[in-house]
Amino acid sequence: MSESLKRVKQEVIELSLDADVVEIKTAKSSAEAAAEISCKLEEIAKSIVLKSETDNYYLFICSGIHKVDIKKAGLLISEDLKVAKPSEIRDFTGFAIVGVSPLGHKNKIAKIYDDYLVNLDLVYAAAGTPKHVLRCKPDQLLKKTKGIALDFIKES
């Protein structure tokens, strides 16, 4: 078992989160994950790591049908943001890009959830590897991870 998957599973236990870690073949995109799991694309919880000019990192978690509006996200945080580089994401979170989970980070990171996503019944988020997903209730994930729900979604 990979170290990143161990960290995710350990935090599930520590938080007493009612969640399952499910093994899948592989998923390198939200659409692939939804097809593999046989769920709706909106139920995929995408994790996007953004970095501020002051070197603060933020984890924006949104529905698979949405995209993060980086400018809007920055206004909510009161900092200019950009997408973190893959090497920065790995160094700060301990995860490769396709495995970034809402749980099990190497460093503390603020978690901001899509206010649409948290109103769904069930979501599937990366669980530390491209071959594992975390199945859980989004409202519980929000509460247990001490995240906040905001509107940072790009308008179509």
Tell me whether residue 96 is in a domain.
Answer: yes
Please report whether residue 35 resides in a domain: yes
Mean pLDDT of the chain: 95
Under 8 Å between Cβ of 50 and 68 = yes
Q: What is the value of pTM for the model shown?
A: 0.95
In this predicted structure, the answer to whether residue 156 has a pLDDT above a threshold of 80 is no
| Residue 58 located in a structural domain | yes
Helix (H) or strand (E) holding 33: helix 30-37
CATH of residue 92: 3.90.960.10
Structural domain includes residue 73: yes
Residue-level pLDDT at 1: 82
d(CA 68, CA 46): 10
Would you say residue 15 has pLDDT above 80? yes
Tell me if 29 is assigned to some domain: yes
Q: What is the pLDDT of residue 82?
A: 98
Asked whether residue 70 is assigned to any structural domain, the reply reads yes
Note whether residue 57 is domain-resident: yes
